[in-house]
Amino acid sequence: MSLYIGLISGTSADGIDAALVDINEHHCDLKAHLCYEFSPALRQRIHALCSPGDNEIELAGALDRELGELFANATKQLLERANTPAEAITAIGSHGQTIRHRPPGQSSTPFSWQIGDPNIIAERSGITTVADLRRRDMAAGGQGAPLVPAFHQHVFSSPTTARAIINIGGISNISWLAPNTPVLGFDTGPGNTLLDAWILQESGQAFDKNGAWAASGTVDSQLLQGLLGHPYLQRPIPKSSGREEFNLAWLAGILNDYSNLPAADIQATLLEFTAVSVSEHLQQCPGADAGGEIYICGGGAHNSPLLNRLARLNPAFKLDTTEALGIAPDWVEAAAFAWLAHRALAGLPGNQKSVTGAAREVVLGGVYPAAPKQE
């Protein structure tokens, strides 16, 4: 076995997904996993850094170190759960926590910033750590995102059937895997980020469990059209997005004209916004009009009303979750970053220029060696 650990805290910043994966060039088997949850106060501090504010450098520096410790703790808990010693792990692939993503097309000086100090992860865990996985792609002219389509192609592609792997996390993204066609991948816009933010504001709940609150409301077609007017949705591919563009401040500006609309109807409309924006982007993929298969991963895989809408909006596709392909939907992204660590140590490219728009394919990430063993 060749064991790797993948770590990621996504746009929602609700915790660290950690996956222990057995990887070689022919397979990727999930061996163990856990979610290391963040406190509401920590989540709020992370979200605050996603927008301009006071004393940002000091706050980011402190949080970088704090999250490094938490990523290391998540690693230790995963190893204990799997009854596996640190010495058995080849490397950790740590995405970290994105606090700002300004890709080409959104900024004249593009950058992407993930925190969760990999020096601390390597030092505390005793495991070589690969991190800072987005910026080399950006140095080559790419978006730095999404990075998972290369992994999706490796583990989920079919030689005969077009497949769309749709990750619905805070932001949604599509990997379009069609036979004899370059892989296409891009962010479609919001996934759960607006749904989570709205229910947290209105009821104090961190998320809408199984989309129940959204299902209790009615979609407002006029509000939906206002949401679909977001300029990101009209940008050409390749493209990537984040909380910088889809957040409560933006939503509040739209809702100024809907002060009498029930909160549950707004939630229902936000769910429809996610479903429609994903579906309209899917139809932009070459050959999508012929249909194929959709496999959902990320937290949105647990939202039955959302999956039902995606199925109805895309009748030419069979829809399921990535569980049907061998990896449960909650752990696909963490497994992907374990795979990217494997690629980095093998000196193999981790990006795909057809996805990110980079000028070339490059080895991603910086390598932080394990601390030497004490005699």
Same domain, 156 and 14: no
Q: Check if the beta carbon of residue 230 is closer than 8 Å to that of residue 247.
A: no
Task: Report the 10 Å Cβ neighbour count for 141.
Answer: 14
- CA dihedral in degrees (309, 315, 318, 320; nearest 10)? 0
Residue at 157: amino acid letter = S
DSSP 162: -
Q: Is residue 122 part of a domain?
A: yes
Q: Is residue 203 part of a domain?
A: yes
Same domain, 83 and 219: no
For the domain that residue 127 is a member of, what is the CATH number? 3.30.420.40
Size of the chain in residues: 375
Q: Mean pLDDT for each 10-residue chunk of the chain (375 residues)?
A: 94 94 89 96 92 91 98 98 97 97 89 97 98 97 95 96 97 96 95 96 94 98 97 94 90 93 98 98 96 97 98 98 96 98 97 95 97 66
Q: Is residue 129 part of a domain?
A: yes
DSSP 128: -
Residue 347's contacts (CB-CB under 8 Å, 6 or more residues apart) are 363
Same domain, 162 and 99: no
Same domain, 107 and 128: yes
- Of 193, 202, 205, 168, whose CA–CA distance to 246 is shortest? 193
Residue at 58: amino acid letter = E
Same domain, 189 and 122: no
What was the pLDDT predicted at 116? Answer: 98
Same domain, 252 and 173: yes
d(CA 109, CA 121): 29
Q: Is residue 375 part of a domain?
A: no
Same domain, 314 and 341: no
Q: Is residue 373 part of a domain?
A: no
Q: Check if the beta carbon of residue 137 is closer than 8 Å to that of residue 358.
A: yes
Same domain, 210 and 285: yes
Residue 89's contacts (CB-CB under 8 Å, 6 or more residues apart) are 3, 4, 5, 20, 79, 127
Same domain, 252 and 323: yes
Same domain, 76 and 170: no
Residue numbers of the domain that contains 131? 3-144+332-368
How many structural domains compose the chain? 2
Same domain, 324 and 193: yes
Q: Is residue 374 part of a domain?
A: no
- Of 100, 46, 101, whose CA–CA distance to 70 is shortest? 46
d(CA 374, CA 126): 11
Helices (H), 5-147: 40-48, 56-82, 118-125, 135-139
Residue at 32: amino acid letter = A
Q: Is residue 199 part of a domain?
A: yes
Same domain, 194 and 131: no
Q: Is residue 52 part of a domain?
A: yes
